[in-house]
Amino acid sequence: MSVSALVMEFGGDEDQAIAGLLHDALEDCGLEHEKVISANWGERVAQIVRDCTDGVPDSEGKKLEWHTRKQRYLEHLGQVSSDSLLVSACDKLHNARTIVADLCSGHDVFARFKAGRSGTVWYYKSLLETFAERFPGTSPILSELARSIGAMEQLATAPV
């Protein structure tokens, strides 16, 4: 729900807000849900959800190696529609804010991530660079994302 609320806050429309609610459906539940999304909410919503998906499990339930998957997603963001780009940026903003909140609460959040501290910070900084190349000028979402990622980086490098 938070991603959907951010989409609306940053000027998204109803389809984008719905996609914000469903943004992880394919990567968490499988590609078979794409037909349900398209049938119930339309092809535009289904496309945005597809564009927000950084990989789906194979028939054995495994995904590509983390770094490869993230690198491909960064490249993929260079070609998605502006509709999808906003939803993805809102998803990443929500994730970054959550990481910062967990770090401020004293949680070892990076222990939960396959990439650890350095890989996670690398990914979010790379996301920011990718979004900055695509969003016009001084987009408010970029400012918020930069602020959250900066806080994440600062907290990630602070002595424990």
Q: Which pTM was predicted?
A: 0.94
Task: Write the single-letter amino acid at 59.
Answer: S
pLDDT tens for each residue of 16-67? 999 999 999 998 888 889 999 999 999 999 999 999 999 887 777 788 889 9
Query: Would you tell me how many other CB atoms lie within 10 Å of the CB of residue 6?
Result: 23
Number of domains, the chain: 1
Segments forming the whole domain that contains residue 129: 2-157
Q: Can you tell me the mean pLDDT for 54-83?
A: 90
* CA–CA distance, 107 with 91 (Å, rounded to integer): 21
pLDDT tens for each residue of 114-139? 899 999 999 999 999 999 999 987 89
Where do we find the tokens 């004293």? 106
* CA–CA distance, 117 with 99 (Å, rounded to integer): 11
Nearest CA-CA partner of 46 in 54, 57, 37: 37
CATH number, domain of 41, equals 1.10.3210.10
